[in-house]
Amino acid sequence: MRLDKHLHQCLGISRSQASLLLRAGRITVNGTIAKSGSLHVNEQDVILFDDDSLQTPGENLYYYMLHKPQGYVCANADANHPSITQLFDLPRADELHAAGRLDVDTTGLVLVTNDGQWSHRVTSPRKQCEKIYRVWLAEAISDETRKQFAEGILLRSETQPTRPAQLEIVTPREVLLTIHEGKYHQVKRMFAAVGNHVERLHREQIGELALDANLPEGDFRVLTAKEISLF
């Protein structure tokens, strides 16, 4: 579909009005300012108007919850490990992608879709979507660490501390951690910064959507309309 037609469907504006928005640099496609209404776009493109996602209701869009096991990468291809898309015995599974990745050794909730704009809403730093992780540690946790996390942790090679995070101590070596951003290897780096080591990591929740307790590891299910609308 042409970009100007997409803008017409999303915003209810004329083609000439769409051209004005494009010339003003207010439309981006996959992070790049788009200037031409003739640009071809599809369902997987992330199209933003002043940093707000634009999407028309479409067919052939799929949304899944996956209980990710260890040993799988969230990328669609990897030289050393299988992709989570191999867990989906579905036609065109290679067109799916993770809306927020987990490390190869991390388990838990992954949202999987072929809708690039919905995926952007899940992962955009502007949304500050919270993620809850269950963390097993090598060393006993202290209340001082909980206070440090609440103030923000300066990670190695970073110039700004993390956003305040909430740490709930379950046992001396098991905690629930809530973060509001998604830096590279953030959870592991946060505990390393306070002299501890993550032995096991499991994501339990993204925003208001929790991992289905009845979903076995390695399995997936379709998200409900209500769950999709959370993002």
- Per-residue pLDDT tens digits for 127-170: 889 999 999 999 999 999 999 999 999 998 889 999 999 999 99
Q: Which listed residue (51, 89, 103, 115) is catalytic?
A: 103
Q: What is the pLDDT of residue 198?
A: 98
**Are residues 29 and 39 in contact, defined by beta-carbon separation less than 8 angstroms?**
yes
Dihedral, CA of residue 95, residue 100, residue 103 and residue 104, to nearest 10: -20
pTM: 0.75
Domain range summary for the chain, segments of one domain joined by +: 3-53, 63-125+210-228, 130-206
Q: Tell me which fold the domain 130-206 belongs to.
A: Alpha-Beta Plaits (3.30.70)
Q: What is the pLDDT along the chain (231 residues), one digit of tens a residue?
A: 899 888 876 665 778 888 998 999 999 999 899 999 999 988 778 888 887 677 554 557 889 999 999 999 999 888 999 999 999 988 788 889 999 999 999 999 999 999 988 998 899 888 889 999 999 999 999 999 999 999 999 998 889 999 999 999 999 999 999 999 988 899 999 999 999 999 999 999 999 999 999 999 999 999 998 899 899
Q: Tell me which fold the domain 3-53 belongs to.
A: 3.10.290
Q: What is the pLDDT of residue 59?
A: 55
94 counts as catalytic: no
63-125+210-228 CATH pick, 3.40.50.970, 3.30.70.580, 3.40.630.30, 3.40.718.10: 3.30.70.580
Q: 21-37 pLDDT, tens per residue?
A: 899 999 999 989 999 99
Rounded CA gap, 205 and 178, in Å?
9
Q: Do domains 3-53 and 63-125+210-228 have the same CATH topology?
A: no
User: Among 4, 30, 59, 65, which Cα is nearest to 216's?
Assistant: 65
Rounded CA gap, 116 and 48, in Å?
11
